[in-house]
Amino acid sequence: LFGPNSGQVADILDSLSKIRTAQGLLEDAERFAREAVKVQATAAGEDHVTTGFYRSTLARVLIQRSKYREAELELRASLDIYSKTLPTDHQYVASSEHLLGEVLLATNRMTDAEAVLTAAMNRWKRTNAPAWRSARSASALGEVLYRQGRSIEAERYLVESYRTLVTEQGADRESRVKARERITNFYTDRGQRQKLEELLAISRDTIAPPPAARN
């Protein structure tokens, strides 16, 4: 009906990738995401905004599979596309920046991670996105600051972002779990169990178990 290289086919492939991700079938998710990028680029061009969006989707899967170098390449490509096609303060830009910041954090490039995550956090705020989106970047930023030995700054970001992520509707499970892990590690490392218990009390039994991921 649409032909093999159409935007509609790319959209279906992107949706299949997200379904497989939700099912924990990450190898299939990556395959569908790569095909979505390829089909969309053929249909609309390498520099089309939707091609950039699908590259970001692919990067999410690659991050979950710990393929950080490949994820970084996809995210930088998406940001390059967005720089040519979107306003500076657009949620697509903030989303790719956030993911890039997570990659830089995971690969221990703390100075770069701090800069990118700060930019993402502030950009989310300027786009009037739901508060949990900027909180997600703030949580990762808090982790960066903690690893840099800046505990006072780190605590503020880790605590505030955690409170937002576990109380705001719409926050995804992965971000909530990450925020909880980060604040747990922070207070456990510092021997501040009472502070931790008081904070965790606001989210008892609110985070459902995930599907088992299969690479």
Residues sharing a CB contact under 8 Å with residue 137, sequence separation 6 or more, in sequence order: 94, 97, 98, 101, 117, 120, 121, 124
State the Cα–Cα distance between residues 97 and 94, nearest whole angstrom: 5
pLDDT digits (tens, 9 = 90+) for 53-65: 999 999 999 999 9
pLDDT digits (tens, 9 = 90+) for 11-51: 999 999 999 999 999 999 999 999 999 999 999 999 999 99
Q: pLDDT-based confidence at 205, cuts 50/70/90?
A: very low
pLDDT digits (tens, 9 = 90+) for 159-176: 999 999 999 889 998 899
What are the structural domains, with CATH classification, of the chain? 7-71 (1.25.40), 87-206 (1.25.40.10)
How many C-beta atoms surround the C-beta of residue 172 within 10 A? 12
